[in-house]
Amino acid sequence: MKNAVLNRLPGDNPWQLRYYEEIDSTNTKAKELAREGAPHGTVVLARRQSAGRGRLGRQFQSPGGMGVYLSVILRYPVAATQVMHLTCAVGVAMADAVERLCEVRPGLKWINDLVCGGKKLGGILTELSVSPQTGLLEYAVVGVGINCLQKKEDFSPELQDMAVSLTTVCSKPVAPDAMAAEMILALQRMDGRLFSEQTTLMEQYRKDCITLGKQVRLVQGDTEHTGIARDVDIAGGLVVDFSDGTRKTVNSGEVSVRGLYGYTDL
Ligand code: BTN
């Protein structure tokens, strides 16, 4: 897979690629490499993950050769508060990558899910390391998983009605190595625009975001509140009008957003 990906990248590709046939989680490996000093743009790619992770402690099923499982180390010399829109920018970049390869643009379910036809195509897991003394970002690890070749029966029974792959969406096999190369190129373009074009990136995020205008259920620990998602602010916060008449902006670390009837009604 490594050469198949590298052959699709330009000869002067500035990012280093580390490939593993099998790993627990590319995010975990990328964080380990970042702690050891690996540079900005180090990409960790795996054919299979034995413990792929999603947001809020969820699992991300990562069967061998069926999808892209990659993480990249990003280092920006800024306060961590300045990169709150990173997951949104990566979401837009991943929608671009899928559109380029497959001529279908996925929607983005706030904040980090790629969705096609109401089903989850993939997801993004952003993990930050922040200096407690200065509040500066030490590194960000952004992990992306995209289902490529699965047929319905390849997903576990509980996911079969909620997950989908590019092959199903596009009615043609979409190889993980071709998708991985598009994703790396899209991440590189995003990297060049993250701060200089934040407003434009967030405008595109709002266009792609299927959560806006929908009724949502915010689950935080044991409490649940319903409301209508009205906007995404410049830092990626979701602005919600709650049924008690209050308006609040919620941040991704805190809550899980569901449609009123589960995943697929968004
Ligand atoms: C989610 O569904 O909440 C996010 C899923 C993110 C999955 C990707 S696969 C590559 C990287 N390694 C992980 O363990 N997770 C991310």
Q: Residue 176 in contact with residue 68, Cβ under 8 Å?
A: yes
CA of 125 from ligand 1 middle (Å) equals 5
pLDDT in tens, 196-252: 999 999 999 999 999 999 999 888 778 888 999 999 999 999 999 999 999 999 987
Q: Which one, of 232, 186, 242, lies nearest residue 211 by Cα? A: 232
Residues 10-29 have pLDDT tens digits of: 999 999 999 999 999 999 99
Closest ligand 1 atom to residue 67 Cα is: 9
- This prediction's pTM: 0.95
Sheet holding 247-250, edge to edge: 247-250, 238-242, 223-232, 215-220, 256-258
Rounded distance from Cα 101 to ligand 1 centre (Å): 21
Residue 252 Cβ < 6 Å to ligand 1: no
* Phi/psi at 26 (5° precision): -65, -30
Q: Is the CB of 123 under 6 A from ligand 1?
A: yes
Question: What CA–CA distance (Å, rounded) separates 212 from 204?
Answer: 13
Residue 141 dihedral angles phi and psi, to the nearest 5°? -115, 120
Unique residue bearing structure tokens 């036809």: 117
Report the alpha-carbon distance of residue 239 to residue 241 in Å, rounded. 7
CB of 111 closer than 8 Å to CB of 87: yes
244 CA distance to ligand 1 middle (Å): 34
